[in-house]
Structure 1
Amino acid sequence: MTNAVFFVSCPSIESTRILLLRIYGPSSGVLISRPKELQTLHVLSSKYHIGPCVYGTFENGRVEEHFDATTLTAADMRSPQTSSWIGARMAELHNVDVQDVEEARGEDDHWDIAVAKNVQSWLAYAREVLALPGVSADVLRALDLDAFENRWRQYARWLQDVESAEGVSRRVFAHNDTQYGNLLRLKTLKDGMPEHRQIIVVDFEYAAPNAAAFDIANHFHEWTANYHLDTPHLLNPALYPSQDERRNFYRSYITHCLAEGDVSLSDEEMEVELVRLDRQVQVWSPASHAMWAVWGVVQAREMVEGKDGEPEFDYLGYATCRMEGFRREAHALGLSM
């Protein structure tokens, strides 16, 4: 939703490859470190064969590898087979050595968790947007950032207590934005390749160390989105994956997480892991809403300033929807907000 993408070809010259030209969105600079993203893409593509190769860069964009693939749709993600493939691919990304793509901060190799870092750093930019004269009183009431920050801190303390008591969700290198538009399906698969490898993950703008459960919860929230409807900014919680759909995803994810160590689980052990992972996803779920609520406000600057012409996406409406989701899910977990 923040980049313009073009396919570049030269049909007059035989055997030339199609390339992808990506132009960065106008508000993305305050949200994304492009040098860090390029470093991530280089390491993932060269060492782990994940994501596209980058062939060249310029100030507001880059040229990268084009995959002969189709972009998944909202309906595609609901297919049990496709969902299990996505789970497998997410497991492979989560098995990436964080040290390969992130610089350690401190002697104990501690990395900032992306969701906490993003919410904290983006709030200042969000406040600037809501201070602009084009923001209505109704929007200011719906997106009360002072109240949100207090609720976020309350939730973060609660989450820390839960992880201390129940166990910590594994810290991994996470994609953090596995919506259907960032998932491709190859039209052909090379001989001998596992079938789940036909799913290609792209757009690593927000990829960073995070809780594994956050990445999964965030993906499940994307089941409730359809960016091709008349109201693409509104999520439909009724479309959140059922318990059976979540367990289908988890089985594939857990199996492929363990595959690197050549470990297998008995049925009883798998059941324990399924229950544990579902609980972790549940407690991290509000964090996804919180992060994207603040993101939506920051992205709304062009729209609020009237520089966006006829906006294609209602970022403030999206932020309001995600803010409501944060409060709703935190309340469901027993937090009084």
Structure 2
Amino acid sequence: ESLVDQVSSWIKEKRAKRSHRKASRKAEDDSAPASPTSMVPVNGKESRPRRGSHASDTSLDLEKLERIVKQTLHLRRSSARKIPHFRRKSSARKLLRKPSSASDTEYFEGDVLVPTCDVVLDNSKTLSYTGGASDVSDESGEEELKRVGSVRDNDAWSRFKFEIVRLSHTLRLKGWRRVPLEMCGSVEVQRLSGALTNAVYVVSPPEDLPLQKEDGTTAKPPPKLLLRIYGPQVEHLIDRQAELAILQRLARKRIGPRMLGTFANGRFEEFFHAETLTPEDLKDASTSRQIAKRMRELHDGIELLDQERDDGPFVWRNWDKWLQRVEQIVTWMDSQIAAQDPNTKPTGSKAWMRRGYICGVPWQQFKAVVEKYRAWLKAQYGGSKHLREQLVFAHNDTQYGNILRLVPAGKSPLLLPANSHKQLVVIDFEYASANTPGLEFANHFTEWCYNYHDKRKPYACNTNTYPTPEEQDRFIRAYVRHRPQFNAATDTPHMTPVGTPDSARPADLARRSTTSISDFMLDARVPPGSSSTNLAAEAATKSAEDAEVKHLMHETRMWRLANTAQWVAWGIVQAKVPGMPLFDPDSPASELSQGEDVAKEIFGEDGLAMPKEEDGEEQEEEFDYLGYAQHRAMFFWGDAVQLGLIGEEELPEEVRGKVKTVLY
């Protein structure tokens, strides 16, 4: 029986008693003689005679109501431990991860259910990299984060941390329900740099959180969390439901971080104790080979769906999806530039016009070259059918900030020299889907040209650092030579090194015992044949390897233009251009999370109202997306000229001097 039904019955019973009392009173009054009220002596004094006690009845009634409420709440708590009550998006219903997870685990058909809620977490006032320190860190003297002196900023971070803790309770993140809302100020929230699409934070639990249990044992502290909040323009770039479906498949292979909970504009992920690679790391020979091995494991480890192959390369799906918005933005920008007086230097909110056409030429000319190139590229494969067969599951965004190096402890198998590449973990699969290996390589090699932490021009494309032919050969050869073998439970076909004779292949790989090392998907290389392997066979193997490397280097060169065009469009969609009209006024506005009563109890009345921006104060864009798009466009023109898609003389004179050309 529900709480509402029980309370309704109680109310009806209460009304019936009240009606009965009224009727009794009326009957007594009618039967009493019309004389002064009789007085009864009490303790020597005359007193009015008492009727039946209403107070005692009321007390019993309230006690009954209290029992009903307590019993129902107790039953709800018990059932809540057994039945998940979360609304889940259809694309994220099942997610597999290890039982020793970082969130309370609910299972459905053997898969783990990731809790989801429709809360919007507002981080518009907490985008700095210096705020978010724990309140107790100011007293300890250990200042990993320095609190911002502004009262407004401190209030914003306090409110932000409160919302994070409350959201962790809603999503039932493991261990975090032991963090009371009153201790939200002791939580440390640190924003990580290098993420261009989202705002990423590391959330650490209070250091002074009581961990003593009632039975005298000590509980483990809540784990650190990675909080990812989607960027404001991301809805135009990324299909979040498709991304969650991708993450589900990756989780089954134990690739990348586990997803712990999602909300309307972001998600919580497993936090890795790792270090992000640097631009210099990409150029290191050993690290470069390790990245190549990891890339091969991803390409071979995740099988493409038939629909993904039928849809074709993801790079063109992105282009087609973003095209309408890009056209709206660039067409408007081009019109503003065309109307600008050439003798007047744009200033203030129009300073962006100094760059001229963002694509170097009017949009229609840029678009026409992309379409011409796309038709040429398709012809190289003899049509869509042959191209379909070349697709692999690719990450498509292997910049240095998306590659972590784990910091293993103890006697981890990762510390073995042969497993050093397993220390690398690729994250951020927002753009992962079907593409050719050549496009994956082209994207990675182009990322060699960027330093997103450069203090002067983090958006700049420095093509002089593009990998040389020797560096490309080293990377691709490591990719070709690597033949990973996965656990039988992953349903991924096992592979062996190139040239391994059939006699040397294991008869039944599926029956191999699973060890702690195999859980890391470590290589189980098959020793090559000894006496049967002669010099001629080795020469044939080497020749086949050289041919494959040469083919992939050629494929990389062919697809580099497609990759560049995609990121030109990406930069344009991400950009905030002053004065630009809202092209999609019907898009749903963000809804801020509710629960003001609880926040009021902790912060007081004044803590609810976030300070407004002062008059004339504008929030500066963190990253120069227009500068990024234009630099990419100059790289686009360099390859377009080399492929003969346009003559150099057809480009404006001021653009020719900015074109970025890589001859290999």
User: Would you say same fold, with TM above 0.5?
Assistant: yes
Are 1:42 and 1:53, in contact at CA under 8 Å, matched by a contact in 2? Answer: no
Alignment of 1:3-82 (within 5 A): 3-10=198-205, 11=207, 12=209, 13=211, 14-45=220-251, 47-82=252-287
Return the structure number with greater relative CO, CA threshold 8 A, min gap 6: 1
Deviations 1:254-275 (Å, cap 9, x if unpaired)? Answer: 1225764213242222111111
Deviation (angstroms), 1:15: 3.7
Q: Which residue of 1 aligns with 2:559?
A: 284
* Mean CA deviation greater in 303-312 or 112-121: 303-312
Alignment of 1:258-337 (within 5 A): 260-265=494-499, 266-301=541-576, 305=580, 309-337=619-647
Secondary structure of the equivalent of 2:311?
coil
Alignment of 1:1-337 (within 5 A): 1-10=196-205, 11=207, 12=209, 13=211, 14-45=220-251, 47-99=252-304, 102=305, 104=307, 110-130=310-330, 131=332, 136=353, 138-139=356-357, 142=360, 144-164=362-382, 170-188=390-408, 191-193=412-414, 194-229=419-454, 230-257=456-483, 260-265=494-499, 266-301=541-576, 305=580, 309-337=619-647
Are 1:41 and 1:52, in contact at CA under 8 Å, matched by a contact in 2? Answer: no
Counterpart CA distance in 2 for 1:224 and 1:331 is 20
Are 1:98 and 1:209, in contact at CA under 8 Å, matched by a contact in 2? Answer: no
* Mean CA deviation greater in 184-193 or 288-297: 184-193
Structure richer in helix, relative to its length: 1
Deviations 1:58-96 (Å, cap 9, x if unpaired)? Answer: 111100111110000101111111111111111111113
Deviation (angstroms), 1:143: 5.3
Report the AA paired with residue 290 of structure 1: A
Deviations 1:78-132 (Å, cap 9, x if unpaired)? Answer: 1111111111111111113444xx5726xxx513311111112212111222326
Are 2:437 and 2:552, in contact at CA under 8 Å, matched by a contact in 1? Answer: no
Deviation (angstroms), 1:233: 1.1
* Mean CA deviation greater in 252-261 or 227-236: 252-261
Counterpart CA distance in 1 for 2:578 and 2:390 is 38
Counterpart CA distance in 1 for 2:579 and 2:438 is 34
Counterpart CA distance in 2 for 1:94 and 1:181 is 20
Query: Which consecutive unaligned segments of at least 5 residues does structure 2 have?
Result: 1-195, 212-219, 337-349, 486-493, 500-540, 582-616, 648-664
* Mean CA deviation greater in 247-256 or 62-71: 247-256
Counterpart CA distance in 2 for 1:93 and 1:40 is 12
Secondary structure of the equivalent of 2:325?
helix
Counterpart CA distance in 1 for 2:314 and 2:231 is 21
* Change over 3 Å in CA distance of 1:308–1:67 after alignment to 2: farther
Secondary structure of the equivalent of 2:268?
strand
Counterpart CA distance in 2 for 1:251 and 1:69 is 27
Counterpart CA distance in 2 for 1:144 and 1:185 is 43
Deviation (angstroms), 1:308: 7.0
Secondary structure of the equivalent of 1:119?
helix
Are 1:129 and 1:304, in contact at CA under 8 Å, matched by a contact in 2? Answer: no
Are 1:217 and 1:285, in contact at CA under 8 Å, matched by a contact in 2? Answer: yes
Aligned residue pair count: 330
Query: Which consecutive unaligned segments of at least 5 residues does structure 1 have?
Result: none
TM-score (norm 1): 0.90
Report the AA paired with residue 295 of structure 1: W
Counterpart CA distance in 1 for 2:297 and 2:423 is 13
* Mean CA deviation greater in 285-294 or 4-13: 4-13
TM-score (norm 2): 0.47
Deviation (angstroms), 1:25: 0.5
Secondary structure of the equivalent of 1:142?
coil
Counterpart CA distance in 2 for 1:164 and 1:308 is 52
Bigger Rg, structure 1 or 2: 2
**What is the aligned-residue identity percentage?**
37
Deviation (angstroms), 1:37: 1.1
